[in-house]
Chains A and B, each alone.
Chain A
Amino acid sequence: MDDAIRINTPVTSEELKMLKAGDRVLISGVIYTGRDAAHKRLVELIQKGRGLPVDLNGQIIYYVGPAPAKPGYAAGPAGPTTSGRMDSYTIPLLEKGLKGMIGKGTRSREVIEAMKKYGAVYFGAVGGAAALIARSIKKVEVVAFEDLGTEAIHRFYVENFPAIVIIDSEGNNLYETEPPKYRRG
């Protein structure tokens, strides 16, 4: 990963503009976790006009529900979950300043359009590489919705979290550009 671009959170749209689909990145700083249940609650809070338990401005959300950590470990195995399930909740969060998402799998047209509008990036982590990814997580805190267990919002302190830019802020999408190169017949 010598060719990887190092980025630190929080991020700005200007920094993210430099990232292109296919770039390998190593992310350091704070990232927040969230899956279906936490997303649902965040969007409900926004709809009710209430404040959010975390300030999303310039932040990255990692779609993950980690496994429990063994004693002596900062984090349990923590690979990405399927992002598409978060599509219907994503746009209100982008409106609140969310700048990046880490997950696996395709995103909807609407989400990609909103990412272009708000200058956000979709990163992919390798699904199932959970033990490897856990090594880049140095500290974990639960920050909201503790009752959701693995689905609670956690704050991860990460160092060189390995990811790849799948959809950049211009809407270029590796899932669309790469597979055709290897298609036969």
Chain B
Amino acid sequence: MREIKAELIKEIVKDLFIKTNYFAGKDLLGKFKEAVEREESPIGKSVLDQIIRNAQIAAEEKIAICQDTGMAVLFVELGQDVRIVGGDFNEAVNSGIREAYEEGYLRRSVVNDPLFDRKNTGDNTPAVIHIEIVKGDRIKLIAVPKGFGSENMSAVKMFTPAEGVKGVKDFVVETVLKAGPNPCPPIVVGVGIGGTMEKAALLAKKALTRPLDRRHPDERYAKLESEILDLINSSGIGPAGLGGRTTALAVNIEYFPTHIAGLPVAVNISCHAYRHAEATI
């Protein structure tokens, strides 16, 4: 049993959420540069220029890339030979969020009750925590602050197996077209296929933690990713929805076995503020 202090988890969660809100990743900056060179629309080009300059300013001044610093989503891959000591795990995570949003000048965007009170919790907690038990004696933490301009444009649908590849393609493209300018394109599209309804949604979210320069290891899924990306970029929606070739930067698919009778598909959209950061303890 390896012991890991709750305090250390708190510090790392705090650091990850601040870092990913301030600094656009290399993968993302690389995609922006490719896009601005390719973009044919003058308005689209100027939007991409503003997005690039914005990322530079945020990094230089150490301020948030976007004012919507998100609801805090944390993926945890917890090694089964780890014992957490010196405090409560959930409390450690939420303390990390609390301190990150306070000391990092990030916006608190969480309300306590979704339907009736809708009162701001004041510290951006609670986080949405997804824990998976894995082999080994390490903990991997992946921080994903999720803005709701794009979250609100996401969708889940249960297909029949017969609807197959075509059903999946049409649904993803349709969801993106319906979203139009709202999720701050150029977007990244996370797609979860298989499992059960909630598993598909979780896979779609997890797909949004993949670096943009990496394709699916299974060739068939990698091909599907690039085919859907082409379809999306043929839509003309463009940067900020003001027309152009760059509507999405990537389509990331994750899959899981499913039931003989089903084909669940979830689409989770991320805006161009594609924020994710990870650390292994």
> B-contacting residues of A (Cβ < 8 Å)?
22, 24, 37, 64-70, 73, 76-79, 81-82, 84, 104-106, 124, 126-135, 149-150, 162, 164, 166, 174-175, 177-185
Whole-angstrom CA separation of A66 from B53 in the bound complex? 19
Distance of A124 Cα from B180 Cα, bound (Å) = 14
CB < 8 Å: which of A24, A76, A105, A179 contacts B64? Answer: A76
Cα of A68 to Cα of B69 in the assembled complex, Å: 11
Specify which chain A residues have a CB less than 8 angstroms from the CB of B105 in the assembled complex. 67-70, 76
Tell me how many residues of B have a C-beta within 8 Å of chain A. 51
Pick from B12-20, B43-51, B252-260 the stretch touching chain A. Answer: B43-51
- Nearest 7 interchain pairs by C-beta: A178-B243, A183-B236, A127-B184, A182-B236, A179-B236, A67-B107, A105-B182
Chain B residues lying within 8 Å of A69, measured Cβ to Cβ, are 105
Complex formed: what's the CA distance from A174 to B63 in Å? 31
Contact B235 A82, beta carbon cutoff 8 Å: no
B271 at interface (Cβ–Cβ under 8 A)?
yes
Known A76-B64, A104-B149, A128-B271; judge A150-B108 contact (CB<8 A): yes
Given A128-B51, A130-B66, verify A67-B182 contact (CB < 8 Å).
no
Question: Are B181 and A126 interface neighbours, CB within 8 A?
Answer: no
Contacts A130-B64, A179-B235, A182-B243: A105 and B180 contacting too (C-beta < 8 A)? yes
Contact with A along B47-75 (1 / 0, CB 8 A): 10011011101100111111111000000
Chain B contacts to A: CB under 8 angstroms: 40-41, 43-44, 46-47, 50-51, 53-55, 57-58, 61-69, 105-109, 118, 120, 122, 149, 152, 180-182, 184, 231, 234-238, 240-245, 271-273
Q: A67-B69, A183-B234 are in contact. Are A22 and B43 (CB under 8 A)?
A: yes
A182 to B240 CA separation, bound complex (whole angstroms): 14
Across-interface contacts of B107 in A (CB, < 8 A): 65-68, 76, 150
Contact of A175 with B64 at beta-carbon distance under 8 Å, contacts A104-B149, A130-B54, A183-B235 already known? no
Partner of B53, one of A70, A132, A174: A132
| Contact of B108 with A131 in the complex, beta carbons under 8 Å | no
Q: Pick the most buried of B50, B51, B109: most chain A CB atoms within 10 A of its CB.
A: B50
Given contact pairs A126-B47, A132-B53, A132-B54, A179 touches B108 in the complex (Cβ within 8 A): no
Instruction: Find out whether the CB atom of B181 lies under 8 angstroms from the CB atom of A134.
Output: no
Whether A130 and B65, one on each chain, are in contact in the complex, defined by CB atoms closer than 8 angstroms, is yes
Taking the nearest CB of chain B, how far is it from the CB of A23, in angstroms?
11
Instruction: Indicate if the CB atoms of B41 and A178 lie closer than 8 Å.
Output: yes
Give Cα A104 to B62, complex, Å: 25
A131 is contacted by which of B64, B236, B271, B272 (Cβ under 8 Å)?
A: B64
Complex: A128 Cα to B236 Cα, angstroms: 20
Which residue on A lies nearest to B243, using beta carbons? A178
The answer to whether A105 and B181 have CB atoms under 8 Å apart is yes
Measured in the bound complex, the distance between the Cα atoms of B109 and A76 in whole Å is 15
Choose one: A79, A135, A179; the contact of B241 (CB below 8 Å): A179
Q: Which residues of A contact B243 (CB under 8 A)?
A: 174, 177-182
A91 CB, min distance to chain B CBs, angstroms: 20
- Chain B residues contacting A128 (CB-CB under 8 Å) are 51, 54, 65-66, 184, 271-273
**A76–B66 CA distance with the chains assembled, in angstroms:** 10
